Amino acid sequence: MSVSNHENRKSRSSSGSMNIHLFHKASHADSLLTQLNLLRKRRVLTDVVLRAGNRAFPCHRAVLASCSRYFEAMFSGGLKESQDKEVNFNDSLHPEVLELLLDYAYSARVIINEENAESLLEAGDMLQFHDIRDASAEFLEKNLHPSNCLGMMLLSDAHQCERLYELSWRMCLANFASIFRTEDFLNLPKDKVQALIFSEELEVEDESLVYEAVIDWVKADMERRYNDLPELLRFVRLALLPESYLLKNVASEDRYGLRAWGVYAWHSATRVRGTSAAYRT
């Protein structure tokens, strides 16, 4: 009998009762992804090619659009790009990182480790694989350390990972004495240096460390940062520094052309000395 005789079968089998059965195969989603992944690897029914570096990745638009708002907007936006057969990321995305994202899209699994976590976070944010971005941020939170907290602070700030940023920020404040001489600190943008030394929660036993941090940061790129020094010195609690310390350091700064700013610091301290200047935590 032809399967098209649906109406006849309905009338023959109906008893008027609500005798129904819901069939649900729990493993269907996994089976579907597995089959789609096999089709991808065999390049069957693929309708777009992603390129990164010197590698090409044939894919299915529907799969990409299902797990990435970036690709959903690209393929359904009605613009010229929606009809392109290739999407070329050139060198803006490492092919190994793109491969990890695609493996996740077709399997719901990805291995995150110390070598790829930062790259996955960046790529996940760029291509709006938000689950990957958040999972990578969580991995980095668990591996946060004073040796990497400055880098994590910048990374999380750039990619809107609020919890990772907050944890990194607090670790930077708590470990300022051990991080301000590192290359990561010397490479910080001015606004981050300013925010750190201005914070009421900065943990230093001696304000001289804050003064030295500012001077060292300026010396690291004298040509570009020389004129930033007076503004940054305003955030150093100069009144907490002994006059003997300032005089000694003012003299030493003459070697770097900073004597004028050192004199400024000394005069600033003497003007405010005796006023209330609470110690940091």
Give the CATH number for residue 205.
Answer: 1.25.40.420
Q: How many domains does the chain have?
A: 1
In a domain, 279, yes or no: yes
The model's pTM: 0.83
- In tens, the pLDDT along 37-68 reads 999 999 999 999 999 999 999 999 999 999 99
For residue 116 the two structure tokens come to 């790829």
Tell me which residue range forms the domain holding 210: 177-281
Segment 217-221 long-range contacts (CB within 8 Å, at least 24 positions apart): 217/185, 217/186, 217/188, 217/193, 218/258, 219/256, 219/258, 220/186, 220/187
pLDDT at 84: 83
In a domain, 110, yes or no: no
Beta strands in 72-220 (DSSP E): 86-88
CA distance 281 to 274: 20
The C-alpha torsion from 197 through 151 and 183 to 262, rounded to 10°, is -20
Residue 276: pLDDT band (50, 70, 90) is very low
In a domain, 156, yes or no: no
- In tens, the pLDDT along 157-194 reads 999 999 999 999 999 999 999 999 999 999 999 999 99
In a domain, 181, yes or no: yes
CA distance 121 to 92: 14
Pair 176, 205: CB distance under 8 Å = no
Q: How far is CA 261 from CA 44, 117, 226, 247, 265, in A?
A: 69, 42, 9, 12, 6
In a domain, 242, yes or no: yes
In a domain, 210, yes or no: yes
Residue 262's closest CA among 272, 248, 273, 275? 248
In a domain, 271, yes or no: yes
